[in-house]
Structure 1
Amino acid sequence: MNLQAIKAIYKFEMARFFRTLTQSFISPVISTALYFVVFGAAIGGRIQEVDGVAYGAFIVPGLIMLSVMTQATANASFGIYFPKFIGTIYELLSAPVNFIEIVIGYVGAAATKALFIGFVILGTAYFFVDLDIQRPLVMVAFLVLTCLSFALLGFIIGIWAGNFEQLQLIPLLVITPLVFLGGSFYSISMLPPVWQTITLFNPVVYLISGFRWAFFGQADVNIWLSLLAIAGFTVLCLGVIWWIFKTGWRIRQ
């Protein structure tokens, strides 16, 4: 394992993040505040509690998941796409660095950025609602796994994308709608039975449900199903990345 190569890639990617640290910090704070104003105040005035949890607190896990999933995907996709765009990817591929080290460097940096934003949103939420996280270690573990898995997805998107527009295609048209429809701001038990069944086909439901369970001890689906879902998603992404580097798809073409 070439630790120096991993460190170089990781530091290079993180340097871009630190150059815009103020923007990276302020943006999630403002977005979180707006969500609390719109959902917490407007909708929360009509829905006082969900499953015994104050509505303002209930939406916090969903807000964190929404930002973490999109940020991890966007950072990882841009991180690997830009070297492809300017042609420096060939220097990386010709260096004594294997694909595992490349993935660890780029995905690790993207996951770190998303994790930072997740904690910023969590800290901002304390200014608006009272939170009592029942299982903080499980919450952190779930957050880290989500950051890693969606960073892996972003890495795949960055290799697949042929232009900058395609980088935004899946996050905007697939991930964000799935998060909104995955119980971010409501419990799926509030839906009619038919829609509850349909919603269970949304994989994001299992991630948000498991993350909310770490906060409040309540979940829409079994916690073991949530863990199985994120583990299966991570393994699937790793398998796709292995195949990409084995075949050179969209890298050497």
Structure 2
Amino acid sequence: MNWHGVWAIYRFEMARALRTLWQSLVTPVLTTSLYFIVFGGAIGSRMQAVDGVGYGSFIVPGLIMLSLLTQSIGNASIGIYFPKFTGTIYELLSAPVSAFEMVLGYVGAAATKSVVLGLVILATAALFVPLPIAHPGAMIGFLLLTSVAFSLFGFIIGIWAKGFEQLQFVPALLITPLTFLGGAFYSIDMLPEPWRTVSLFNPVVYLVSGFRWSFFDRGDVAVGVSLAVTAVFLVACMGVVAWIFRTGWRLKN
């Protein structure tokens, strides 16, 4: 294992985040705070509790997950897209760094930034509402697993994208709508049939439900199912990344 190569990629990506600290950290926190104020204030004044949990507290896991998904994808996709855009990807491919080590550096940095952002949003939300964490270990586990899985997904998008428009296509037109429709601001048990059943086909439902369970010991679906869906998505992304490096798809041409 070439740890020097992994560390060089990781340090470069983290330094890029520090150079754009306002965009990388402050802007998502402010945006999430606005979501919290608008939804928590406007809707929370009319909906006192959901499943016995105050509405202001109830939406916090969904807000964190919304930021986590979008930032994981954005950080990882930008990280690998720029070497393709500038042509330095060929230097990386010819360097004494394996595909696994390259992915470890880029995805590790993207996941680290997302986890830090999630914890900062969690600390910010705790200033507004009481926020018990019933299962701290599970909360950290879901945070890490989701960050790594969607950083891998973002890495795939960064390789697939041929322009900046395509980089924004999936987060803007797929991930954000799925998150809003995935129980981030409500329980899917509040939906009438057949919409509740339809919601179960949304993979984000399982991410939000599992993460919310770690806070309040309750979720829309069983925590084991949430964990399994997240793990399957992670393995699928790993398989796609392995295929990309084995075939050189959009890396060497």
One fold, TM greater than 0.5? yes
Q: How does 1:158-173 map to 2 (within 5 A)?
A: 158-173=158-173
Aligned-partner residue type, residue 113 of structure 1: K
Q: Which residue is 1:79 aligned to?
A: 79
Q: Which amino acid aligns with 1:3?
A: W
Q: Contact 1:189 / 1:196 at 8 angstroms: preserved in 2? A: yes
How many pairs were matched up? 253
Query: Per-residue displacement from partner, 1:74-126 (whole Å, max 9, x unpaired)?
Result: 00000000000000000000111110000000000000111111011101101
Q: 1:29-83: per-residue Cα shift (whole Å, max 9, x none)?
A: 3212211221001011111100000000000000000000000000000000000
Counterpart of 2:148 in structure 1 is 148
Matched, 1:246 2:246: yes
**CA shift for structure 1 position 155:** 0.2
Match of 1:58 in 2: 58
Shift, 1:28, TM fit: 2.7
* RMSD of aligned residue pairs (Cα, Å): 0.8
CA shift at 1:24, angstroms?
3.0
Cα offset for 1:22?
Answer: 4.1
Q: Percent of aligned pairs with the same residue?
A: 64
Instruction: Name the residue aligned to 2:226.
Output: 226
Equivalent AA in structure 2 for residue 97 of structure 1:
V
1:213 maps to 2:218: no
How many angstroms apart in 1 are the aligned matches of 2:29 and 2:207? 23
Please give the residue correspondences for 1:48-197 in structure 2 after superposition, counting only pairs within 5 Å.
48-197=48-197
Gaps of 5+ in 2: none
> How far did 1:20 drift?
2.1
CA contact (8 A) 2:32 2:67 kept: no
Aligned-partner Cα distance in 2 for 1:125–1:191: 26
Separation in 2 of the partners of 1:96 and 1:107? 18
Q: Which runs of 5+ in 1 are unaligned?
A: none
Q: Is the 8 A contact 2:73 2:154 kept in 1?
A: yes
Q: Please give the alpha-carbon distance, in whole angstroms, between the structure 2 residues aligned to 1:232 and 1:92.
A: 29
TM, length-normalised to structure 1: 0.98
Alpha carbons 1:69, 1:147 under 8 Å: kept = yes
Query: 2: CA distance between counterparts of 1:42 and 1:186?
Result: 14
Instruction: State the AA in 1 paired with 2:60.
Output: V
How far 1:19 sits from its partner (Å)?
1.3
Distance across 2 between alignment mates of 1:48 and 1:152: 38
Q: CA deviation at 1:21?
A: 2.3
Q: CA deviation at 1:137?
A: 1.1
Report SS of the residue matched to 1:236. Answer: helix
Give me the whole-angstrom Cα distance separating, in 1, the residues matched to 2:169 and 2:21: 25
* Aligned mates of 2:205, 2:220 — CA distance in 1: 8
C-alpha distance in 1 between matches for 2:126 and 2:251: 44
The structural deviation recorded for 1:23 is 4.2
Please list every run of at least 4 consecutive aligned residues from structure 1 whose deviation after the TM superposition is greater than 4 angstroms: none
Render the CA deviation track for 1:159-216: whole Å, top value 9, x for unaligned: 0000011000001000100000000000000000210000000001001000000000
The amino acid of 2:105's aligned partner reads: G
Letter in 2 for 1:143: L
- Please give the alpha-carbon distance, in whole angstroms, between the structure 2 residues aligned to 1:3 and 1:107: 15
Secondary structure class of the residue paired with 1:184: coil
